[in-house]
Amino acid sequence: MSAPTAMPPIVLALLLVLVQLDLGCGPPPKPDSLIQLESMLRQPPLAELRTRQPDSVVEADKYRELAIRAWQDSEMDEAQAYTLISTMLYRRAAAESQMRATGEQARLDARRIDDARGQVQYHAEEIRQLEQRVAALTAELARTDQQTRDALLQEARRAEQQARPTSEEVAAVQQSLELARQALAASESVKANLYAAGRYNKARNLIGRAQQEIELGNLTTARQTIAEVGTVIEAAQLEATPRFQELEEKRRLAELAGQLLEAAQHIRGAEIRQEPRGVVIIVSDLFAPGARTESTEIKEERFFAIDQIGKMMLDFPSVPVLLEGHTDTSSPKPNREAQSRAAATAVRDLLVEKGLDSNRFSLTGYGDTMPVEDNRTAKGKAQNRRVEVVFKLR
């Protein structure tokens, strides 16, 4: 009997892969974004946040659990998405908690202002009684002799002196006015002077009026004016904040897009394009015409461009990257979508070999559905065999 024929190495390798798939694999490495989220949740303020914003934190917890489950199921795109939603919900809860704390401080200040108004009313009543006393003394002065009139006049002068506000009262109102000035200056942190200019200017005018009232000794009116200043400033901040946040985000994205475009200009052999979704780097003629999906190999002359893209990703670690594969019409139509996705996968694998995190990429293949040149010419096909690297800003 002859000896059994040795099994080819490639068959042995396939059998090993099948055995590994059958035995199951653990989840892929945990995404950096999920690690950062869990690190954030270990910070001491989270316990207070759960007390102040329980509903928002419960919602954020739900998406964090979905992210963990998706990661454990190797659904990395879903894990990234759920992690982003959870992170935004936790941060929104923190912002809402801060706004609530600010509101509570504002209500406390309002109560203090109400107490001050009560004191003003008390002193106003004292002044009214003293004025009545002065009037009575003045009437009596007309019916007395000179000596009596002199004595009554001295008493009237003492009463008038007592009716004037004390230096302590003036200082207290002046301090309230200074706090109002500080609150107006603080509102400029959200550009209330630009995005709520009407209310901002009204508050500034009221502050000037309150200062004049203090200098004239009208402390009651000055306190009322200062209270109105606080209300107007709060309304100005509420009006300006959404617009400020929106424009700040647009400014940040525009600045980031400019930095990405400037960095991309140094990549030779690639076309650069800016789109609403982000900055796109197009590397064409990557593979030989009609290459099979499972044997896709990147041309050596394209290694420099991909190496520069990898360096750019290291320089902008917070920007997510989408790899879009495209192909020509050389291969059979049913194979083209898989072939284009394999092209994107080949670029990703080369970048991962250079040390980049594979979790940072998302991939898709469009086959021959989005040509940029005519597939009837060799030059057009070369241009259509491409991978578009999208640094996403939206």
- Provide the CATH number for the domain around residue 328: 3.30.1330.60
Q: Among 201, 219, 246, which residue terminates a domain?
A: 246
Is 313 in the same domain as 237? no
Q: Is residue 9 part of a domain?
A: no
- List the structure tokens of 83: 């992690």
Q: Is residue 260 part of a domain?
A: no
DSSP state of 286: -
CB 77 within 8 A of CB 67: no
Is 277 in the same domain as 319? yes
Q: Among 131, 163, 195, which residue terminates a domain?
A: 163
DSSP state of 300: G
What pTM value is reported for the model?
A: 0.47
Q: Is residue 21 part of a domain?
A: no
Q: Is residue 73 part of a domain?
A: yes
Is 334 in the same domain as 233? no
- List the structure tokens of 108: 């406390």
Give the domain range for residue 111: 31-163
Is 326 in the same domain as 210? no
Q: Is residue 58 part of a domain?
A: yes
Is 200 in the same domain as 135? no
Domain count, the chain: 3
Is 60 in the same domain as 111? yes
Assign 373 a pLDDT band (cuts: 50, 70, 90): very high
Residue 291: predicted pLDDT: 44
Assign 342 a pLDDT band (cuts: 50, 70, 90): very high
- List the structure tokens of 87: 């992170």
Is 69 in the same domain as 145? yes
Q: Among candidates 266, 269, 260, which has minimal Cα distance to 313? A: 260
Is 159 in the same domain as 194? no
Q: Count CB atoms within 10 A of the CB of residue 388.
A: 24
Residue 100: predicted pLDDT: 82
Is 189 in the same domain as 148? no
Q: Among candidates 349, 337, 336, which has minimal Cα distance to 297? A: 349
Read off the pLDDT of residues 157-207 as tens digits, 9 standing for 90 and up: 666 555 578 889 899 999 999 999 999 999 988 888 998 899 999 999 999
Q: Among 246, 277, 302, which residue terminates a domain?
A: 246
Is 169 in the same domain as 150? no
DSSP state of 302: G
Q: What angle do CA 187, 188, 192 make, to 5 degrees?
A: 75
Is 269 in the same domain as 371? yes
Q: Is residue 3 part of a domain?
A: no
Residue 112: predicted pLDDT: 84
Read off the pLDDT of residues 13-23 as tens digits, 9 standing for 90 and up: 554 444 444 44
Q: Give the highest mean pLDDT range of 14-23, 32-41, 119-128, 189-198.
A: 189-198
Residue 141: predicted pLDDT: 58
DSSP state of 318: T
**Least trusted range by pLDDT, from 24-28, 101-105, 354-358:** 24-28
Q: Is residue 255 part of a domain?
A: no
Is 216 in the same domain as 131? no
- In the chain, DSSP finds a helix count (H) and a strand count (E) of 13, 5
Cα separation of 308 and 312, whole Å?
6
Q: Is residue 257 part of a domain?
A: no
